[in-house]
Chain A
Amino acid sequence: MASYLLRRILATIPVMLLVAIFIFLLLRLTPGDPAAIIAGDYANDAQIAEIREKLGLDEPLFTQFFYWLGNIFQGDFGESFFYKKQVGELIASRIEPTLSLSLMTIVLTVMIAVPLGTLAAYRQGSWTDRIIMGFSVLGFSLPVFVIGYALIWLFSLELGWLPVQGYQRISDGVGGWFIRLLLPSLALAVVFVAFIARMTRTSVLEVLGEDYIRTARAKGQTERKVLMRHALRNAAVPIVTVIGLSFAILIGGVVVTESVFTLPGLGLLTVEAVLARDYPTIQAVILLFSLVYVVINLLIDLSYTVLDPRIRY
């Protein structure tokens, strides 16, 4: 187990290196000159060249890359071209809304999707099943921004129950934080509920056909406990896998939701940074997203050993 963990952690190094090379080259190959953007519309060539030199953008790509990489190993992600702040600080100040949104979304998703999927599996072929699966198809087909605006219209404009947009830091009061996150989380959750409910249904259905379910019934166990204790636990591995992957996708996919609900998180930061060709910020955010992805995958694999005693590394 310990050696497995060590091997997996070592294996992330080449992955992250590849991501770093890829994002670095991609940014430099896309059209648009950060120096020109910073200098503004009325700058002359000499001013732009001066800014370029100040940012180190006149150096060969190779030198730039290793300079950047070397600094990262010292914990320095560089200074943002646009915000004139350390990228590390910038991200730290923006990470709370994104994490809050992702966590709240995934919690909502699991709370809705797993019971729905289990119920659909238990009542396979019934109207309950068909309605749940119908909603699942609908949830897949609607884009997040449509759901988002529809929810804003219904709950904020028509009913006036929830605020339209904005974010309140958790340190300024949990109630306000929760209420402001509810709509964006719901909007984001819809597609994941559809996905995870479907996955749960398939997985539980498969398990319900197993012999040990029959054994549990032969013991005189109640149907509720047959489902909770025997079926769901055995169906957990694929379900947890997609929950973990969904969470990873969520963190990368907050760009749209944060724009719709104007949450000052990493998603919004990414959009701003891309528009400004703010290389250090974009690079750091993407690296962070990739690292989260790799870590979540590792956590998923480790969770298997908890869920299924037959799996040992």
Chain B
Amino acid sequence: MTTEPVLDVRGLTVALPTSGDRSYAVEDITFSVNPGEIVCVVGESGSGKSVTASTVMGLLPGALKPVAGETLLQGEDTLKATKNRLRDLRGTKMAMIFQEPMTALNPVARVWEQIAEMLEIHTKLSQSERRKRAIEVMESVHLPDPERMADSYPHQLSGGQRQRIMIAIALVLDPALLIADEPTTALDVTTQAQILKLIKEMQERRGTGVLFITHDFGVVAEIADRIVVMKQGRIVEQGDREQVLKNPQEPYTQMLMASVPSMTPPERAVVGGEMAVEVKKLDKVYGRKGFLRRERIVHAAANVDFHVRRGETLGIVGESGSGKSTVARCIARLIDPTSGSISLHGTEIATLSQSKLRPHRRRVQIVFQDPYRSLNPRRTVGQSMIEAPVNFGVPIEEARRKARELMELVDLSADALDRFPHQFSGGQRQRICIARALALEPEVLIADEAVSALDVSVQAQVLKLLDDVRDRYNLAMLFITHDLRVAAQVCDRLIVMKSGVVVEQGPTREVFSNPQHEYTRLLLEAAPGTDVEFGSGRAI
């Protein structure tokens, strides 16, 4: 059977504005998507994968201009289509779902209206027919009780449900091509697994061609029929799933796959250092009651017990809302625990008053998730680095000298101290954040999703750096993550949290090989791409 591809991209080149660091966002790329096929475009940030998708849809921001090539949608070049023609094609022949289901839906419109809008634009159905059809399609993406949920607003739904609504919007008119731009990146693993299954089911049932954009090789392994690997605007390798995953030809592909942390935890010796943090019966309750106010209480953490020794990395894993960050923030006393005890090298800090707490602040430092937002954009890196030591009485000159040393430790040159955060890449900024935390010579380092926002190759480097500084300064490290692969590689012991409660704890290897709690098993099963072995040995 000769089938015409639903999407045929030939020699596409998109120019960047002249001020950029390269001249083309994508350069001379050629690939196609056949009916009923899932093609994964995989690459790190800045590889041009999202630009490719937006070009096909005609949704490029004004600064980017396609200058060569064609994007044939069932034979029709969308680059040459008029604005009106493009509007007709969107939704009917090609549809798109996006990364952030939290923000991709209009917060002030009911969900059925957002599905029905598609029908309002492209069909002549009456309002009641549109509503009926919207509810049907909600049912087909397996939303519970669609009749009732139809009248909900997006904020009343979970992330996974919202992404199902997005899929419903995209598929309501049965387009030939579905473009999915990182559709599961913002979701928890268990939700991700369900959404991937749904996309696959929809695509098989309707014979839709899917262009699936992702940075995650685990997801690729889970869903792809064919794989296109992009790097800095160019395609470096493409081929069938088996071919690329089992036998990658290009060094870049090999490097990417080797950087994905393996799901098999390495052998680790038991750490017997002195006790750094001991948490007992920690509770954190949010909510308030008051005059004429309904009582609404959330247990963000309930009865949490654990300890960390110096030189040891304890991983806290769990999905969003599991309470893992709440626990970390209680230990750093960024928030006050409701009850329970937190002992820091034998000092009880859970109930210490703010003034008495101050000397202990320097002993616990945090590296946060988003290196783009955790450094003050208007202060130089140097100013940010010495602020805390100077606050604690270190002379400025001494603090500067220390800052220069630390910059070298994290593999950045000392003259970086005079520059501003926006002049660095995400990985470099995260190194700066680590150096900043170390400037206070803490005893406990909390890494709160510290590598989640980074590309895999950068992630591997930052993980190695964290491992190095832990050994060098004999730190107790609390490593908070939703990513089981990362946890497998860096943590000595794990605690698994769900809805504020610790459901399982033990040495990493044991938790992975012999999970006791049902939820842990669920998490491990949901991790994408477990049938492909990534990370040649240890990634770090």
Q: What residues make up the interface of A, taking CB atoms closer than 8 Å to B?
A: 3, 6-7, 210-212, 214-222, 229-230, 233-234, 307-310
Contact = CB atoms under 8 A, between A and B. Distances in A.
Contact of B121 (A3, A210, A221): A221
Contacts of B108: 233-234, 307-309
B98 A215 contact: yes
A157 to B, nearest CB: 48
Given A7-B292, A219-B90, A222-B87, A212 B107 contact: yes
Given A7-B292, A309-B153, A310-B153, A218 B107 contact: no
Contact of A212 (B89, B104, B155, B292): B104
A220 B120 CA distance: 10
A212 B105 contact: yes
A212 B103 contact: yes
B188 interface: no
Nearest to A3: B292
B88 A7 contact: no
A217 B104 CA distance: 11
A234 B122 CA distance: 24
6 contacts: A3-B293, A215-B166, A217-B59, A219-B117, A221-B87, A233-B109
B59 A216 contact: no
Nearest to A213: B106
Given A221-B117, A221-B121, A216 B106 contact: yes
Q: Which 6 A-B pairs have the closest CB atoms?
A: A220-B90, A211-B103, A3-B292, A220-B87, A212-B106, A309-B153
Interface string B216-240: 0000000000000000000000000
A164 to B, nearest CB: 46
B90 A217 contact: yes
A230 B106 CA distance: 7
Contacts of A222: 87, 121
A8 to B, nearest CB: 11
Given A220-B87, A220-B121, A222-B87, A308 B293 contact: no
A218 B118 CA distance: 10
B105 A215 contact: yes
Contact of A215 (B86, B88, B106): B106
A6 B104 CA distance: 36
A135 to B, nearest CB: 25
Interface residues of B, number: 31
B104 A215 contact: yes
A217 B117 CA distance: 11
Contact of B98 (A6, A214, A233, A307): A214
B517 to A, nearest CB: 35
B96 interface: yes
Interface SS, A side: helix
Interface string B141-168: 0000000000001010000000000100
Contacts of B134: none
Contacts of B104: 211-212, 214-215
Given A215-B105, A234-B106, A309-B108, 14 more contacts: A211-B98, A211-B103, A211-B104, A216-B117, A218-B95, A219-B169, A220-B90, A220-B121, A229-B109, A233-B108, A233-B109, A234-B108, A308-B107, A309-B153
Contacts of A229: 109
A6 B292 CA distance: 9
Nearest to B153: A309
A309 B166 CA distance: 19
B98 A309 contact: no
Contacts of B122: 220
B532 to A, nearest CB: 31
A229 B89 CA distance: 21
B334 to A, nearest CB: 26
A69 B371 CA distance: 60
Contacts of A217: 59, 90
Nearest to B107: A310
Interface string B91-118: 1100110101001111111000000011
A43 B73 CA distance: 97
Nearest to B293: A3
Given A220-B89, A230-B106, A310-B155, A214 B59 contact: yes
Nearest to B115: A219
A218 B179 CA distance: 11
Contacts of A307: 108
Given A218-B59, A220-B121, A221-B121, A7 B107 contact: no
A310 B293 CA distance: 18
B527 interface: no
Contacts of A221: 87, 117, 121
Contacts of B107: 212, 234, 308-310
A6 to B, nearest CB: 7
A220 B86 CA distance: 7
A222 B122 CA distance: 11
Nearest to B100: A211
Given A219-B169, A309-B153, A309-B155, A210 B103 contact: yes
Contacts of A220: 86-92, 118, 121-122
A218 B86 CA distance: 10
Nearest to A230: B106
